[in-house]
C-alpha cells in the first residue's frame, strides 16, 4: 500500500481508509449497486435482476481475492479499521455485561477490558484487548497496547473468576504490550510473566480467540488457555513484520518478506499445531460482514465451553499442562521432545514452592 495511505501505530502500519489495492474491484461493484435506480424510477423486475447479477459478481470477486491473500495482505486485513473490535463482540454476544475496572494497585488501563457476562447459557469472565474504533479512542487506549496495570487487572479478574468457578473467555487483538518508558519503569515484563505463570493454574476452563492481531507477549499475556482459536484472517506472531524487518534488514521496507517468513496466519499456525481451530470468516472478511463473523466466534465459544465443562477440573488442568508442553514440538528433532515428561500431580507451581515441597518430602 502506498506510503501516503498508511498510518503508523506503535508496532506497524494500518490503512487509513481501509482499502486494499485488490479490493478496488469490489468497491467498483459496490458503487454500481449504490447507483441502481430506485424501485420507483425503473421496473422492479429489471432492477432486481441487475442487483442479483451485481451481488453475484461481488461474491465471485470476493472469493477470488480473499481465497488468494498473501501473508502481507492478511496483515492489513487483520488491522482493518472496520474490522470488529472488542466492544463490538461484547455488544452482540455478551448478555448482561458488567465491566470491572482497576488492578487494585495503580489504576485502570483502557487497553484491556474485563467484565462478567453471559455467552449463550454460560456465565463467563470476559477479558479482551480494546484497540478502539475512532482515532481518539485508539489514541486513548494506545491502539490496544496495554501497560502493566492492564495485565494486573486481567489477572486479578481471572483469579476472581477462578475463585467462583466461572469460565474465562479472552479476546485477543493487540500489536503488543506498550513499549513506552513508563511501562518499562512499572514492570511490563514482570506483569506479563506473572500472567503466564498464573494462568495454567486457574481451575476453570479458559477459551481464547484471536479476533484481529495477536502480537508478541502482549497477546500471550491473556492467551494461555485450554483452547486457542483464530479468525481466518487474523494474525498471531512473536513480532510484527515491520519489527522483524527492522531487526534483520535494518529497515521496514522488507516487511512483506518478513510477513511470509513469520508464518503468522491462522492456516499456517493450525498446520503447525500451535492453535486448535481456525474460525472461518464470511466471504470478504469480517470487516464486510461483522455480525456474521461475531456470530461465528460466539458459536465456537459456546461449543468449546460445552466440551470443556464436561471434563473434570483436575483432568482439564493436566490436559492444559500437556498442551502447553507440546507447543513447539513441530520444530523438534525426533527423540528430543519434552512432551512425554509426566505431568505434575498438582497444577504447575512456582519453583520456590516446589523446592519447599521436595525438602519437606525428604525430611519425612
For residues 352 and 308, the model is more confident at: 308
b/e map 322-358, b = 16+ CB within 10 Å: ebbbbeeeeeeeeeeeeeeeeeeeebbeeeeeeeeee
DSSP assignment of 4-62: GGEEE-SS-EEESS---GGGHHHHHHHHHHHTSPPTTTS-HHHHHHHHHHHHHHHHHHH
Residues above pLDDT 70, as percent of the chain: 83
318-343: per-residue pLDDT in tens?
999 999 988 876 555 555 444 555 55
Under the phi-then-psi rule, with left for phi > 0, alpha for psi from -120 to 50, and beta for the rest, what region is 263? Answer: left
pLDDT band at 32 (very low <50, low <70, confident <90, very high): confident
For residues 142 and 158, the model is more confident at: 158
pLDDT value at residue 37: 74
pLDDT value at residue 14: 44
pLDDT value at residue 138: 87
- Residue with C-alpha cell 460482514? 289
278-321: per-residue pLDDT in tens?
999 998 889 989 999 999 999 999 999 999 999 999 999 999 99
Q: Do the Cβ atoms of 72 and 298 come closer than 8 Å?
A: no
pLDDT value at residue 65: 86
C-alpha cell read off for 1: 500500500
pLDDT value at residue 120: 93
What mean pLDDT is reported for the chain?
A: 84
- Residue with C-alpha cell 498438582? 346
**Rounded distance between C-alpha atoms, residue 236 and residue 212, angstroms:** 9
pLDDT value at residue 201: 93
The SS3 of residue 223 is coil
3-state helix, strand, coil in the chain (%, to 5): 50, 15, 35
58-77: per-residue pLDDT in tens?
888 888 888 888 999 899 89
Measured CA distances, 32 to 22, 281, 314 (Å):
17, 25, 59
**Rounded distance between C-alpha atoms, residue 54 and residue 142, angstroms:** 40
C-alpha cell read off for 117: 457476562
pLDDT value at residue 303: 96
pLDDT value at residue 116: 96
251-266: per-residue pLDDT in tens?
888 999 999 999 999 9
Query: What's domain 77-320's architecture?
Result: Alpha-Beta Complex (3.90)
**pTM for the complete prediction?**
0.82
Q: Please, which residues have CB within 8 angstroms of residue 179's CB and are 6 or more apart in sequence?
A: 10, 145
pLDDT reading at 48 higher than 50: yes
190-244: per-residue pLDDT in tens?
999 999 999 999 999 999 999 999 988 899 999 999 999 999 999 999 988 988 9
Under the phi-then-psi rule, with left for phi > 0, alpha for psi from -120 to 50, and beta for the rest, what region is 99? Answer: beta
C-alpha cell read off for 182: 513508563
- Across 19-47, average pLDDT: 75
Other Cβ atoms within 10 Å of 151 Cβ, number: 28
Structural domain boundaries in the chain: 21-68, 77-320
- Residue with C-alpha cell 504490550? 177
pLDDT reading at 7 higher than 60: no
The span from the first CA to the last CA of the chain, in angstroms, equals: 68
pLDDT value at residue 302: 96
Amino acid at each position: 500500500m502506498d506510503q501516503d495511505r498508511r498510518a503508523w501505530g506503535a508496532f506497524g502500519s494500518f490503512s487509513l481508509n481501509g482499502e486494499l489495492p485488490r479490493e478496488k474491484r469490489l468497491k467498483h461493484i459496490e458503487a454500481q449497486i449504490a447507483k441502481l435506480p430506485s424501485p420507483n424510477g425503473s421496473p422492479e423486475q429489471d432492477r432486481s435482476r441487475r442487483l442479483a447479477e451485481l451481488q453475484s459478481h461481488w461474491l465471485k470477486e470476493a472469493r477470488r481475492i480473499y481465497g488468494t491473500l498473501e501473508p502481507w495482505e492478511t496483515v492489513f486485513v487483520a488491522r482493518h479499521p472496520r474490522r470488529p473490535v472488542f466492544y463490538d463482540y461484547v455488544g452482540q454476544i455478551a448478555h448482561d455485561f458488567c465491566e470491572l475496572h482497576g488492578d487494585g494497585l495503580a489504576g485502570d488501563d483502557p487497553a484491556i477490558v474485563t467484565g462478567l457476562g453471559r455467552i449463550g447459557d454460560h456465565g463467563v469472565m470476559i477479558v479482551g484487548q480494546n484497540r478502539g474504533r475512532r482515532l481518539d479512542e485508539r489514541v486513548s487506549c494506545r491502539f490496544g497496547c496495554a501497560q502493566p496495570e492492564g495485565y494486573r487487572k486481567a489477572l486479578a479478574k481471572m483469579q476472581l473468576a477462578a475463585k467462583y468457578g466461572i469460565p474465562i473467555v479472552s479476546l485477543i487483538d493487540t500489536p503488543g504490550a506498550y513499549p513506552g518508558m513508563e511501562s518499562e519503569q512499572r514492570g511490563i515484563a514482570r506483569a506479563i510473566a506473572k500472567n503466564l505463570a498464573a494462568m495454567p493454574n486457574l481451575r476453570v476452563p479458559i477459551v481464547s480467540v484471536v479476533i484481529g492481531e495477536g502480537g508478541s507477549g502482549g497477546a500471550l499475556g491473556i492467551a494461555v488457555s485450554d483452547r486457542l482459536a483464530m479468525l481466518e484472517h487474523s494474525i498471531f506472531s512473536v513480532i510484527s513484520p515491520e519489527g522483524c524487518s527492522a531487526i534483520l534488514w535494518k529497515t521496514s521496507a522488507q516487511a512483506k518478506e518478513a510477513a511470509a517468513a513469520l508464518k503468522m496466519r491462522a492456516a499456517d499456525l493450525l498446520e503447525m499445531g500451535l492453535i486448535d481451530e481456525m474460525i472461518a470468516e464470511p466471504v470478504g472478511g469480517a470487516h464486510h460482514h461483522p455480525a456474521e463473523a461475531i456470530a461465528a466466534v460466539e458459536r465456537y465459544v459456546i461449543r468449546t465451553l460445552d466440551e470443556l465443562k464436561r471434563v473434570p477440573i483436575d483432568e482439564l488442568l493436566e490436559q492444559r499442562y500437556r498442551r502447553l508442553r507440546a507447543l513447539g514440538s513441530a520444530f523438534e528433532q525426533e527423540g528430543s521432545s519434552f512432551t512425554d515428561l509426566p505431568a505434575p500431580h498438582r497444577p504447575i507451581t512456582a519453583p520456590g514452592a516446589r523446592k519447599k515441597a521436595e525438602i519437606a518430602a525428604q525430611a519425612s
